[in-house]
Each structure stands twice: as C-alpha cells, then as structure tokens.
Structure 1
Amino acid sequence: MVRDVRVEAACGRLVGQRHDGFVSFLGIPYAEPPVGDRRFARPRAKAPFARPFEAFAYGAAAPQKRAVPAPIARIAGATKEISEDCLSLNVWTPDVKGSRPVLVFIHGGGFIIGAGSQYPGDDLAIRGDVVVVTLNYRLGLIGFNPFAEVFEGDDRFVANAGLLDQRLALTWVRDNIAALGGDPDKVTIAGESAGSVSVAWHLVTKGSQPLYARAIMQSGTLSLFYGLERARAIGDELRAGLSLAAGPEPLFQLSPKQLQEAAEAAVSRHTGVISRPYADEVEIGASLPADLARAAKPVPLLIGTNRDEFSFFSQLPILPMETGKAEMAAMVAEFAGEEASKRIASLYRDDRPGRIAFGTDLIFRMPAIAFADGHAKNDNSVYFYRLDWEAKGLLSKLGATHSVDLPLLFEGFLRPFRSAYLGVLPDPGRHRLAERMRDHWLSFVRDGRPGEGWPAYRPNTRETMIFNVEDRVGADPEAVHRIAWKGIDGFAS
C-alpha cells in the first residue's frame, strides 16, 4: 500500500510516496519556469514552496520531437506532457532517514530528446542502498544555441543554458538531499550519450566542481561540443535565416516547434544536430578536449563505450549524423589534416562493419580513451570499460549499439518495450550480465571503485573491463587503432 511521506527540506515541505522498499519524490521543480524573457536565459532557483509540494507525478518534459507516439509513451510510463516549464527532478530513496551515497543520472538524447522519467531509479536505490536522482533540462535550440554570441550583452541569452540547468539541479541536490536520506558529500554524477557529454562539462567547469565527488561517463565526451568559431558561424546563419537583423524579438514569439523548424530551414551549411553545446570561452576555454580532460576535477572516474556505438546512427533515423566513410574522413581532416585523415581512413573498410567501426572510433571510443588517459595521468582513479553484449530484439542487427547499456543498468528503462533491446525469450546470461554491471556501478557510487575483478586503468597498460555474457579484462584492447589516432583531437565540425 502506498503511503504519504512528509519531509522538511531547504526547498520547503515535500510530500512523497512510500512504496514497497523505497520512497519516491517525483516532479520537484528546482528552478523557476524558463518562460517569456527567461526562455533562453540563465536558470533561477525555485523559491521555497509556500505550501507542501505533492511530489506524486513526473514533471513535464522539455519541448522536443517525440521519439515514440504519445499513446505509446504513456504505456511506457514516460512523461506524457511537454512544456517549457520543464525544470524538475525526481528522487528515489530507500528511506528519508539516514545518509546514503547519491547517484545523479543525466539523460541522453543528443540534447534534443529525452527526460528523467525514462530512467526510474527505484531498482538501483533498493539494490544499492543509495539515493537516485534524475532530472529534466532544456533541450534543442531553447537549451543549446549560439544566441549569446549573436546578441552579446543581452542577459536574456546565455551559452549552454541546458547545462546550467543541470548545474542548478546539482545545487538543489547539495542543499536538499540530506532531508531525503542522501549524503551531499557523496554525490556521483553520471550520464549516457548527451548525459555523458554533460558530465564531462561538469568535470572541467569550476562552477560545477564543488557539487559532486565521483563521475561516470557512458558513451560521450567533450569532443561532441562545438568550438566557438563553429558556434558563431551557425549564429550568423540563424540571424540571417530567422530575420533577426532588427533584434531577437522573434525568438520569443515562435512556438518551440516553429522555432526548431525555422532554425533547421535557416541553417543549410551545417549537417547533424545544430543545437549542441559549445566552448564559449567563459565556462570552458578554447583548449582541445584532451587538454581540458587533464584539467578536470580530480575525482574517481568510471568511463567507457559500447563496441558498436555508431550502428545506432547509421541504421536509425533518430539523430541525424553523417555516416559515409568519405564524410567521416573529412571530419578527421578538419582538425588533423589530409595526411592524417588518409592514414586513419585506411584502417577501415568502406562497408557497413567498417563504417560502424570508423564512426564508433571517431565519435565515441577514441575520445573516451583520450579523456581516460588525461584523467589517469594526473593520478586519478579511472576505470575503463567496453560493452560487447549485442542487442537481441528488434535492434539485434545493430550489435553492441549505442544505448544498449541502458536496459542493462535500469530495470525500468523503456518498460514494457525493453524487448526491442533484450528480446522476448528468457536469457539467463544477459540477466547475470545486468546484475554484474549494476553491482559494479553501485559499488562505484558507494566506494569510488567498482567491484572485484575490475582493475584501475593506467595509461601505460590501459586495463579495460570488457562486458559480455562472460566478462574479461583486456590490456589496451584498442592498441592498433589507438596508436594511429594518437594526437588527433578536436571539437565537432
């Protein structure tokens, strides 16, 4: 039977719900609504509640294109409402008494889709005796745009508003989580894909560094940021295409859908997702991603990728991305030159497996290795992994694709459609793999290191935990490609 649980926190009185083995607090607003003139601005902390806030349901997701139709989203338990008033978070705790380690998980989705509600934290909270937090942040062109460069000095615009939303949510955790059974000095920030890119930003930015003690990065690093020059070029196109010569007022009048459609039409010379974070030279400077990694906060880091990340983008039309060998070689040439591009491209066949391997190395694996190397060289504890387990359901042809780690770590991810990843038949080997991965992640959240059998990553030996039905540890398993890619580093083009 569900019972109400009332607590007094810095944000005011909260009312949660006690279930079998955990207490949930859903949809807690951590910021004032970013609407009107605040649409693109720096977020402001939510004023304390004047009356008890009933945290019984997920808050609205940020405006976005739905990955699945609304009726299916409702069946899957995802947030059915979409609104610009979206800055809320969710908490699952074994009990409001005590002081447990905290896992804050930042959702992915290419900075254009996703919501914290897709990652129910009850299973991990119970399994690991930890507090789990998920959150929403502004997405798309509302959360990630170059307008602060276009309209310099206008405080209605700030670079990377969506990342600043996340920082404010982490501040809320610091100030309130003790009232919900958590220890604010033992916070692990984690994320997958765009969430992992976000974690990398928090690692290297001074404003975020006091807010956590450990970090987990799954499939994404700072290499997916734009450089400032690229952001300004997109800003120039947007100003011309959106008819902003007379000022930014039209940006506050268009609906989110109209804004995104107009932006896509305006920006014709840049492919892929245009609403992406960029190095604004305020929060982070112009240094290359690997150099930034060496300046990251010295905390324990768990980091890795899936073996066939790029198949998700080459086979599914969810997130636009260049997938041809020639186009990827051109990306390498932009920040490494033609000679290096030819050398790198020669490692990969121009067929489907070759292109998947090329894209995986370009966007995910080699940047992750470079980040791990930079962090480990400063004598930080680093634990590196590669997930080789292949999807079994509708996505089985994609192998160990991007996001296949999520249903292994989150018992409630995409329910009841987990079969798209896991298949419909019982799979004891996969079940044991999921158990092992969860135990490793939770051990890291509690103690700053995974469980037994996973050695620390060192730049001279590069021990890597390779997860599959049977796990193994490999020493520098990507050595041939890693050596060829060494020194090739840059932001997204």
Structure 2
Amino acid sequence: MVRTGDGPVRGTVKADHRSFQRIPYAAPPVGELRWRSPRPAASWTAPRDATRPGAGCAQLAGLPMDAPSESEDCLYLNVTTPRDIQGKRLPVMVWLHGGHFLFGQGDTYGGASLAARGDVIVVTMNYRLGALGFLAHPALDGPTPGASGNFGLEDQQAALRWVGRNAAAFGGDPGNVTLFGQSAGATSVCAHLAAPSSAGLFHRVITQSNSCTAPVQDRRTAEAQGRSLAAELNCGGTVRTAACLRARPVAKVLKAVGYPGSGYDPGPVAGGPVLPVDPARALATGRFAKVPVMNGTTHDEYRGQLWGMERAGMNCPGGTPRPKPCPLTAKQYAEQLEATFGDKAAAVREKYPLAGFGSPSEALAAAMTDHSYARPALDADRLFARQVPTYAYEFADRQAPFFAGIPRTTFPAGAYHLAELPYLFAVGYADPLSADQRGLSDQMLRYWARFAHRGDPNDAAAPRWPRFQASDRYVQSLAPGHGGIGPADFAKDHHYEFWHSLGR
C-alpha cells in the first residue's frame, strides 16, 4: 500500500516490480465538466483497489490493441516501480500513448521490464480523446477566448502535476521526470515543450515516430471543424450550443467524429492560453523548454499506414473489403503520388521507381516514410541540437513482430509504425520476440532508462551512442544481431537532400 496525496492505494507485488492501476489524477469530466479543464480528484480514506486497470477514454474500435469505450470517467493513471525502492529516489518516466488522438489507453503499455531493468518509475495514463479531448468551439471557451481545444493536453498536464506531488511516495524523484510518447503521444510531447503551463513539469523528453517540426492545427481551422461537428450534432447556431453539446450522448459524439479521414482531425490546437505558439514555430525560433531530447523514427514508418489501408479495403475496387487484402497496384501507386505531390509527382516517381522495390506498396511506403517522417525527424534533430543535448535514433528491425493473430500485409511489414513498442513495453498484442530481438530489447531498455537517469543514454555496457550535432547526418541504428546497433547514414538512406531540393 502507498499513501498518495489523495488517499491510500493498494497495488500488486510481483517478483521484480510493483504495479498500481486506476489511480484517479483528476475528477471524471462528465456532465457539466465535459469540455472543461480537468478538476482535482476527490480524496478518499479507505485503501483504494489499484490492482485492475480503469476504462479507456471514449473511443471507437481502432487497432487490435485498442478497446472501444463509451466511458468519460477515464482520467486514471498507472504506476509501475521496481520491487525494491527502499531509500531510493528514482527517475520517473511518464508515457503518452499514441492513436491519432482518437484511440488508445495507458494500461496497454506494461512498464514492468522498463521499471525493473532500468531502475525507474513508469507512469502511463489515459487522456481525453477525439472531440471530447480536442474540440475547439467559442461556445466552450468560457470567459477566456481560445481556451477550448486542448482539454486532452490539459489532462496530460494534470497527470504530470500529480506525478510532481506523488512521485516520492512511490520511490520516484519529482525533480527528474522524463516525458515520452509515440505518434500522437510524440506530438503531445512537442506541444508540452512549447506550452508555457507545462514548463517545469518534466526534465527530459523522448519523441518516437512524430516530429516537432510538423505543425499542429491553427485555431481558425480547428474552430471551423468544431462548428461543423456541432452542426452535425444539431447543436450549431444557438446560444445554448455548450449546453446542447454537453447533453449529447457520448455514442453520438463518437459517431459524428468517426474514423481518421472522415473530416474531423483531432489534436492540439495552436493559439490560445494553453498552446499560444505552434510547437513547430517554437522549435524553429528556440522558444521551447530547454531539456535533453531523444528523437527517432522507425525505418519503414508508412508501411503501418498501408497495412491499415489494406485492412480497410481501400485498395480494393470500389474501396470494398474482400476476404483477402487487395494489394496496391502500379496505377494506384501513381495516383497516390499525384494526389500527394501534384506537379512534383514525376520527380518522386523517378526517385522511387517501381523497379527498385518488391511491390507498389513498398515503393509508396518508402517515398511517404522519407517525406512524412524521415526528413521532418532529421530537421528536428538539427534544430534541437543547436539548443540542447540531442540523441537521434532509427529503429531498424526489418523482422519486427507483427500483431498476433492478425492477417499479414501483402508486402513485408518491416520496421513499421509502432514496431518498436514491444521492445520497450509488455504490450500483449504482438508476436513474441526472438532471442536476437530480446537482446535488442535489453539494449533499448538500457538506453531509454539511462537517458531518464542522466539525459545521456550511454553507459559502459552498451554500444556508444554519439550525441547528435547540428550538421550531422548519422543517427544510432537499432537493429538485432551482431553489429545491429551503431551509426547509420540516415540522410543518405532516406534521400534527405532530394526532399529538401524538392521543397516538400
């Protein structure tokens, strides 16, 4: 049992770690608290059962590890510690899950290995998703113009403040907090680097598979989406818009938002008191929290998106799913390039010719990975390195485990978006790691934990990871087997100069 500032919690003790789940860090954002900044959780006196996870925040069915939910009582976090914390003040690593700001929950990412092997405290959390977390609408601003749109970010801030108040009770050091996240979680980390009200809540950051050079939504665009969604819910054009929206059943809100590509694109909103400046602008101008940074991508990021397209039947004639996935055709490859790059499509096609790849899907994935992930990542590395200690990596295991029991792609999945997560967490949804992959996992856990301990991933037992310099082109490649960890020419491998010359 541990006594938090709100009340005692009783968790679970295992051979090498302790876990505490479903700890409230804020009041349930229900009823009149829907679309308001998080409020303090109510205190309690009897020991609270912290042996089971709480419900995820309201969401539709997503990837195999995402559970659909209609719960708005979801602002809970989970704490995992080494078993022996006697007299210790360990670094705290706070994880922000991904999921396009529409899906995911904290307890998917078991922190036992990271906590036990890295001698750190691991905190995972839920935060409001979709429209419930990121709806921008003047009717929801209250007395402060521009206050709506970032409720999910404010939830994350509330969890970080909880960590600051309670870390010591679990054996953690509130003065040494690493904020890390993947995909939408990485975008959130970038937002906190730029948000004035996040200053001082963390001391190092790790961004995985999204770049801080990628702009977020501006307020005008976000409010236009918000008005459209309010109209979809029959709450537009009325002086009682806020009350009308708060009265709508959560299922109707989820249905109105739909899936990615449906027209509503949730996420942080630049402009307003929570996030006055776009994180991309903050990085470019040096107006961000000056803390050590680890930043990286997977080698084949976009293959994950193409698997999703196949799974949804988007490559099939008429966009209709079939019993077996429909592979991307050469014609569809050309059409995708035209739709994305316009008059530059011919140059991209010449740089990524179908003859150089095993399939049109692999060709498109290479082009889109380099355009949407690799170039922005290296841009961010170089900007960060001018200001703060920076360590850049690429996860490059081309045989990374896929989702267990799920039909494979029609092409090799490679080091796809999400592929590194089973190496850092007990996720439960992926095929098991091989012996070589377990060795890579051990090294990655060591790197991530050492970075949390002192802002530098190196120690005597791991291959050296050079600090990134502003003019560098090499990053630390993370792959299994002999020689799998070491410097890689990231700029050459991902045609960095080509994309800069293209102006895209």
**Residues of 1 paired with 2:170 and 2:91: CA distance?**
11
Q: Which residue of 2 aligns with 1:22?
A: 17
Mapped pair 1:449 → 2:456? yes
Could you tell me whether the CA contact under 8 Å between 1:30 and 1:45 is conserved in 2?
A: yes
Correspondent of 2:308 among 312, 316, 320: 316
**Residues of 2 paired with 1:107 and 1:214: CA distance?**
17
The aligned amino acid for 1:9 is T
Could you tell me whether the CA contact under 8 Å between 1:8 and 1:14 is conserved in 2?
A: yes
Q: Any residues of structure 2 matched to 1:49-88 within 5 Å, and which?
A: 49-67=44-62, 83-88=71-76
What residue ranges of structure 2 are gaps of 5+ in the alignment? 316-331, 355-359
Correspondent of 1:296 among 284, 288, 296: 288
Secondary structure at 1:446's aligned position in 2? helix
Could you tell me whether the CA contact under 8 Å between 2:56 and 2:126 is conserved in 1?
A: yes
Range that drifts further, 283-292 or 394-403: 283-292
Correspondent of 2:367 among 358, 364, 367: 358
Could you tell me whether the CA contact under 8 Å between 1:34 and 1:84 is conserved in 2?
A: yes
Range that drifts further, 21-30 or 459-468: 459-468
Q: Any residues of structure 2 matched to 1:251-270 within 5 Å, and which?
A: 251-264=245-258
**Residues of 2 paired with 1:108 and 1:205: CA distance?**
19
Q: Which residue of 1 aligns with 2:476?
A: 465
**Residues of 2 paired with 1:129 and 1:488: CA distance?**
46
Cα 1:308–1:324 change in 2 (3 A) is same
Cα 1:227–1:82 change in 2 (3 A) is same
Cα 1:239–1:83 change in 2 (3 A) is closer
Mapped pair 1:382 → 2:372? no
**Residues of 1 paired with 2:211 and 2:338: CA distance?**
20
Range that drifts further, 177-186 or 51-60: 51-60
Per-residue deviation, 1:348: 3.6
Cα 1:152–1:321 change in 2 (3 A) is farther
Correspondent of 1:234 among 215, 225, 228: 225
Could you tell me whether the CA contact under 8 Å between 1:290 and 1:489 is conserved in 2?
A: no
Cα 1:345–1:50 change in 2 (3 A) is farther
**Residues of 2 paired with 1:228 and 1:183: CA distance?**
36
Secondary structure at 1:207's aligned position in 2? helix
**Residues of 2 paired with 1:200 and 1:28: CA distance?**
26
**Residues of 2 paired with 1:320 and 1:109: CA distance?**
20
**Residues of 2 paired with 1:199 and 1:62: CA distance?**
19
Cα 1:151–1:178 change in 2 (3 A) is closer
Mapped pair 1:172 → 2:162? yes
**Residues of 1 paired with 2:229 and 2:271: CA distance?**
17
**Residues of 1 paired with 2:337 and 2:220: CA distance?**
20
Could you tell me whether the CA contact under 8 Å between 2:194 and 2:278 is conserved in 1?
A: no
The aligned amino acid for 1:198 is S
**Residues of 2 paired with 1:176 and 1:488: CA distance?**
50
Per-residue deviation, 1:383: 0.6
**Residues of 2 paired with 1:234 and 1:321: CA distance?**
25
CA offsets 1:4-60 (integer angstroms, 9 cap, x no match): xx2333222222232212221111000000001211111112133243322121111
Q: Which residue of 2 aligns with 1:483?
A: 497
Mapped pair 1:190 → 2:180? yes
Cα 1:447–1:319 change in 2 (3 A) is farther
Q: TM-score, normalised by structure 1?
A: 0.84
Per-residue deviation, 1:116: 0.7
What residue ranges of structure 1 are gaps of 5+ in the alignment? 1-5
Secondary structure at 2:159's aligned position in 1? helix
Mapped pair 1:35 → 2:30? yes
Secondary structure at 1:48's aligned position in 2? coil
Q: Any residues of structure 2 matched to 1:110-189 within 5 Å, and which?
A: 110-147=100-137, 149=138, 151-153=140-142, 158-189=148-179
Per-residue deviation, 1:434: 1.4
**Residues of 1 paired with 2:248 and 2:353: CA distance?**
45
**Residues of 1 paired with 2:469 and 2:50: CA distance?**
44
Q: Which residue of 1 aligns with 2:319?
A: none
Q: Any residues of structure 2 matched to 1:424-439 within 5 Å, and which?
A: 427-439=434-446
Mapped pair 1:103 → 2:89? no
Secondary structure at 1:316's aligned position in 2? helix
The aligned amino acid for 2:94 is V
Could you tell me whether the CA contact under 8 Å between 1:188 and 1:214 is conserved in 2?
A: yes
Correspondent of 1:403 among 395, 402, 418: 418
Cα 1:196–1:487 change in 2 (3 A) is farther
Per-residue deviation, 1:312: 1.0
Per-residue deviation, 1:358: 2.5
Percent sequence identity is 31
The aligned amino acid for 2:77 is L
CA RMSD of superposed structures (Å):
3.1
Q: TM-score, normalised by structure 2?
A: 0.82
Mapped pair 1:8 → 2:3? yes
Correspondent of 2:200 among 206, 210, 222: 210
Per-residue deviation, 1:355: 1.5
Cα 1:212–1:134 change in 2 (3 A) is same
Could you tell me whether the CA contact under 8 Å between 1:310 and 1:356 is conserved in 2?
A: yes
**Residues of 1 paired with 2:8 and 2:232: CA distance?**
47
**Residues of 2 paired with 1:300 and 1:484: CA distance?**
29
**Residues of 2 paired with 1:195 and 1:30: CA distance?**
18
Per-residue deviation, 1:96: 4.9
Cα 1:329–1:143 change in 2 (3 A) is farther
Could you tell me whether the CA contact under 8 Å between 2:58 and 2:68 is conserved in 1?
A: no
The aligned amino acid for 1:382 is T
**Residues of 1 paired with 2:8 and 2:20: CA distance?**
12
Secondary structure at 1:83's aligned position in 2? coil
**Residues of 2 paired with 1:151 and 1:137: CA distance?**
18
